[in-house]
Chains A and B, each alone.
Chain A
Amino acid sequence: MPDPTTPILTADGTPLKAKLAQTTRQLKWKAFLLTLPLVLFVVITFVLPIGQMLYRSVHNPAGSNVVPQFAEFIQEWDGQGLPDDKYVESFVKDLAVARKNREIGKTVGNLATRVNYEMPGSRSLITSTARKAAKITEGPYLDALIKINKKWENPAIWLTLQRVSKDYTLAFYLAATDMKYDETGKIVQADDLYQIYIPILLKTLWLSAVITVLCFILAYPVSYLLSTLPLRTSNLLMILVLLPFWTSLLVRTTAWIAMLQTEGIINDALVFLGAIDDDGRIQMIYNQTGTIISMVHILLPFMILPLFSVMKTIPPSYMRAAKSMGASTFYSFRRVYFPQTIPGIAAGTLLVFILAIGYYITPALVGGNDGLLISNLIADHIKKTLNWSLGAALGTILLVVVMVFYWIYNKLVGVDNLKFG
């Protein structure tokens, strides 16, 4: 046994470990250079925008952009009762300046929107006050404001303004998890009516799980068949499995609309066969059922491919060996075949589940109201309501959820056990 404390030396006297590190370092550099273009591409087009988006979920400088002096000044206020007139004065002056501002992101409207997020119904309070702000030339400013609108008497609006004036805020995460600041600035559950995002998130997880399980149940026998057929036939069937990839997602989804709608092919056929009445047509689309059916169809190949590639490597002699030793077909399957397909099952379910969680086009088209997923809400905030910060917060939560699932999965199955193909 060589003494472990004395390092082994190479012929020219350098320690073996150092020499080895030197040679492997070159290899690592080479590997790094090979991936560099892709890394740059991903960083520039993907990581940076996402990073910026995530940043947006906590960074919202509406206050300091629109009413900069007030935003800084109001932080000194202790938040008791109504603010002293000096604070109000700076607010009124800033507002008057902001009124003339035409720069994007710095108009009064931005502040109004932002305040409105936290105190619904106060948008017009800000905008109408801003219009008259220039006319207020002397104090007491608070009274002047109250004369314009009684709502300025409410301390809550001032607390909100104080919060909004901070550049960094958790408000969007609170909104994304159905919570809010109450009148006194404490974090509380939002009213029942506004409990939207958590239920949708839970529903997304639940639907994704249902879709994953359905995909698995449908894909396992098919993959088995594909893996046992002779190559020519299995290649042909494999093309059928892959066929959906050659048509656009939109086309496939709309095809489902044609199939499932109340005046669609399936209902027509059922009516024709007399299975249902003409006025008893089944609602299969624009609801959860529609989302589930079409997403199972669209995600099925992602389950079949890893399963198939794993099953392909399991020679039939395993099952034969098990049977020759006296095991029944079912026992052989359960103890010998099934365990060997676990890497494929793991990869397939992970793939389908994670794809389903983030899916958005299909539910948007066929999901109606109750078949919507969390990503549809994110898209709405990014594209329609333009509340990018809330969209970003929801996106971040979704990302975290996915990562948590991935982590749990890794604990359970071990990611190095996965076989994608």
Chain B
Amino acid sequence: MSNTTGAAVRFEKVQKSYDGEVMVVKDLNLDIAPGEFLTMLGPSGSGKSTCLMMLAGFEPATNGEIYLNDKAINSVPPNKRGIGMVFQNYALFPHMSVAENLAFPLKVRGISSKDIDEKVKHTLDLVELGAFGNRRPAQLSGGQQQRVAVARALVFEPELILMDEPLGALDKQLREQMQYEIKHIHERLGVTVVYVTHDQTEALTMSDRVAVFEDGIIQQLSPPDELYESPQNSFVAQFIGENNKLSGKVTTLDGNVCDVLLDDGTHVKSEAVNVSAVGDRTTISLRPERVEVDPQSPMDNNLKGKISEILYLGDHLRIVMEVAGNKEFIAKIRNRGETRPFAKDQVVTVSWAASDCKALDPVS
């Protein structure tokens, strides 16, 4: 298959409502670069599929414009958009063999049957299903069906491929393998991929950029590492990865450093991300693996914690304790092979660097 260059996609002030009462997508502005792997991540009902359906042309945008390679496509019917699509249930045609499924988009395009055979074979080889062309979809395993679905979306060499939770039905192991394969194919072909999932690990491992959706709004659009390291608000901090919450009030604010008075009276130095003025209420977000328990030397923040539970997880220990009124404060301690130095009800010092905790918008 020739290397296609991916298409550029732009959503401009797109809004969508199904019933005229609820806005399912609110003012979506999104620029997707050619060849990018962009993931839409978000809880159920946040409008991810709706965005994809608008892009594919199955749902009209209520307002705003969508551009494909700088051409407005709002009035282009789905079959003229040339966008490959992988559906959650795969949507493989049950009455056709695998090869016929793959040949379908080529036949539609009036390609000669010799070329069709060639392309079908080539694409099946690409997803390592060369020997399965004659089978019906029902005779394949879930993972194989999934690969056929990907192959069918690829075979007509679209510049843009949309995938709506394509791995939702697979078990964990197969999922991980398929994540790798899809990523691999993407890199090899250079197509633009818009991928929808509500599995954060999937989003983090596969994407160039992730758009976190909530309630029809993109909460943050960043590369995966940035999403994890510097969440812009409490929703993203909580949605991506594990997260300790400490609530308080900003007492001093100096550039991007601030001091927060927690509700139990302790002070915490923190990076100011989403606070605007002294006196604002804030929720501090802190990753469990950035917490040190009983460190050799004091750090920016040193608080007391009372251990309520210790979980042994092989590569790390998970210590649940009460810190500054938060009874579910978690610390992840790497297992270095020492004997377990902690016990239930023990009082320990918990420390972390000011740059590792982010003062974000308050959550109740």
Q: How far is the CA of A335 from the CA of B85 in the complex (A)?
A: 18
Q: How far is the CA of A331 from the CA of B77 in the complex (A)?
A: 14
Q: Bits for B78-89, please: 1 = Cβ < 8 Å to A, else 0.
A: 111111110111
Interface residues of A in 311-353 (CB under 8 A from B): 315, 317-318, 320-329, 331-332, 335-336, 339-340
Q: Given the known inter-chain contacts A326-B108, A327-B104, please indicate yes or no for A321 contacting B91, CB distance below 8 A.
A: yes
Q: Given the known inter-chain contacts A320-B56, A320-B78, please indicate yes or no for A325 contacting B105, CB distance below 8 A.
A: yes
CB <8 Å contact, A318 and B156: no
Minimum CB–CB distance for A312 against chain B, Å: 15
CB <8 Å contact, A326 and B87: no
Minimum CB–CB distance for B144 against chain A, Å: 17
Using CB atoms, name the residue of chain B closest to A331.
B108
CB <8 Å contact, B108 and A320: no
Minimum CB–CB distance for B362 against chain A, Å: 40
Interface residues of B in 46-96 (CB under 8 A from A): 56-58, 77-85, 87-89, 91, 93-95
CB <8 Å contact, A335 and B104: yes
CB <8 Å contact, A340 and B95: yes
CB <8 Å contact, A324 and B108: no
CB <8 Å contact, B91 and A323: no
Which of B84, B85, B109 is the one whose CB lies under 8 Å from A320?
A: B85
CB <8 Å contact, A325 and B156: yes
Interface residues of B in 8-61 (CB under 8 A from A): 56-58
Q: Given the complex, which residues of B lie within 8 Å of A335, measured CB to CB? A: 104
Which of B79, B88, B89, B94 is the one whose CB lies under 8 Å from A326?
A: B79
Asked whether any CB of chain A lies closer than 8 Å to the CB of B152, the reply is yes
CB <8 Å contact, B104 and A322: yes
Q: Given the complex, which residues of B lie within 8 Å of A317, measured CB to CB? A: 87-89, 91
Which of A322, A324, A339, A340 is the one whose CB lies under 8 Å from B83?
A: A324
- From A321, A325, A326, A335, name the one whose CB has the most chain B CB atoms within 10 angstroms: A325
CB <8 Å contact, B95 and A326: no
Minimum CB–CB distance for A231 against chain B, Å: 16
Using CB atoms, name the residue of chain B closest to A340.
B95
Q: Given the complex, which residues of B lie within 8 Å of A336, measured CB to CB? A: 93
Q: Given the complex, which residues of B lie within 8 Å of A323, measured CB to CB? A: 57-58, 77-79
Q: Given the complex, which residues of B lie within 8 Å of A328, measured CB to CB? A: 79
Q: Given the complex, which residues of A lie within 8 Å of B89, measured CB to CB? A: 315, 317
CB <8 Å contact, B152 and A325: yes
Q: How far is the CA of A331 from the CA of B108 in the complex (A)?
A: 8
Q: Given the known inter-chain contacts A320-B58, A336-B93, A340-B94, please indicate yes or no for A326 contacting B85, CB distance below 8 A.
A: no
Q: Given the complex, which residues of A lie within 8 Å of B84, measured CB to CB? A: 324-325
Using CB atoms, name the residue of chain A closest to B83.
A324
Minimum CB–CB distance for B101 against chain A, Å: 9
Minimum CB–CB distance for A416 against chain B, Å: 15
Q: Given the known inter-chain contacts A317-B89, A318-B91, A320-B78, please indicate yes or no for A325 contacting B104, CB distance below 8 A.
A: yes
Using CB atoms, name the residue of chain B closest to A321.
B91
Q: How far is the CA of A328 from the CA of B56 in the complex (A)?
A: 14
CB <8 Å contact, B156 and A315: no
Q: How far is the CA of A318 from the CA of B89 in the complex (A)?
A: 10
Q: Given the complex, which residues of A lie within 8 Å of B156, measured CB to CB? A: 325-326
How many residues in A have their beta carbons less than 8 Å from beta carbons of B? 19
Q: How far is the CA of A321 from the CA of B94 in the complex (A)?
A: 13
CB <8 Å contact, B93 and A327: no
Minimum CB–CB distance for A311 against chain B, Å: 14
CB <8 Å contact, A324 and B79: yes
- From A315, A317, A321, A329, name the one whose CB has the most chain B CB atoms within 10 angstroms: A321
CB <8 Å contact, A325 and B108: yes
Q: Bits for A102-134, please: 1 = Cβ < 8 Å to B, else 0.
A: 000000000000000000000000000000000
Q: Given the complex, which residues of B lie within 8 Å of A326, measured CB to CB? A: 79-80, 82, 105, 108-109, 156
Q: How far is the CA of A335 from the CA of B94 in the complex (A)?
A: 12
Q: How far is the CA of A326 from the CA of B79 in the complex (A)?
A: 4
CB <8 Å contact, B87 and A320: yes
Using CB atoms, name the residue of chain B closest to A336.
B93
Q: Bits for B92-113, please: 1 = Cβ < 8 Å to A, else 0.
A: 0111000000001100110000
Which of B83, B91, B95, B108 is the one whose CB lies under 8 Å from A327?
A: B108
Q: Given the complex, which residues of B lie within 8 Å of A340, measured CB to CB? A: 93-95
Q: How far is the CA of A336 from the CA of B57 in the complex (A)?
A: 19
Q: How far is the CA of A332 from the CA of B108 in the complex (A)?
A: 10
Q: How far is the CA of A332 from the CA of B91 in the complex (A)?
A: 13
Q: Given the known inter-chain contacts A326-B108, A328-B79, please indicate yes or no for A321 contacting B87, CB distance below 8 A.
A: yes
Q: How far is the CA of A307 from the CA of B323 in the complex (A)?
A: 63
Q: Given the complex, which residues of A lie within 8 Å of B95, measured CB to CB? A: 339-340
Minimum CB–CB distance for A264 against chain B, Å: 44
CB <8 Å contact, B152 and A315: no
Minimum CB–CB distance for B76 against chain A, Å: 12
Q: How far is the CA of A324 from the CA of B90 in the complex (A)?
A: 13
Q: Given the complex, which residues of A lie within 8 Å of B57, measured CB to CB? A: 323
Minimum CB–CB distance for A413 against chain B, Å: 13
Q: How far is the CA of A317 from the CA of B163 in the complex (A)?
A: 13
Minimum CB–CB distance for B165 against chain A, Å: 12
Q: Given the complex, which residues of B lie within 8 Å of A324, measured CB to CB? A: 56, 78-79, 81, 83-85, 153, 162
Minimum CB–CB distance for B349 against chain A, Å: 56
Q: How far is the CA of A336 from the CA of B91 in the complex (A)?
A: 11
Using CB atoms, name the residue of chain B closest to A320.
B58
Q: Given the known inter-chain contacts A326-B82, A328-B79, please indicate yes or no for A320 contacting B91, CB distance below 8 A.
A: yes
Minimum CB–CB distance for B321 against chain A, Å: 48
Minimum CB–CB distance for A276 against chain B, Å: 45
Q: How far is the CA of A328 from the CA of B85 in the complex (A)?
A: 16
Minimum CB–CB distance for A72 against chain B, Å: 65
Q: Given the complex, which residues of A lie within 8 Å of B87, measured CB to CB? A: 317, 320-321
Q: How far is the CA of A325 from the CA of B154 in the complex (A)?
A: 10
Q: How far is the CA of A138 from the CA of B56 in the complex (A)?
A: 105
Q: Given the complex, which residues of A lie within 8 Å of B105, measured CB to CB? A: 325-327
Q: How far is the CA of A320 from the CA of B56 in the complex (A)?
A: 9
Minimum CB–CB distance for A320 against chain B, Å: 5
Q: Given the complex, which residues of B lie within 8 Å of A327, measured CB to CB? A: 79, 104-105, 108
- From B82, B83, B91, B152, name the one whose CB has the most chain A CB atoms within 10 angstroms: B91
13 pairs of residues in contact across A and B, judged by CB atoms under 8 Å: A318-B91, A320-B56, A320-B58, A323-B78, A324-B79, A324-B81, A324-B84, A324-B85, A325-B84, A325-B152, A325-B156, A331-B108, A335-B104
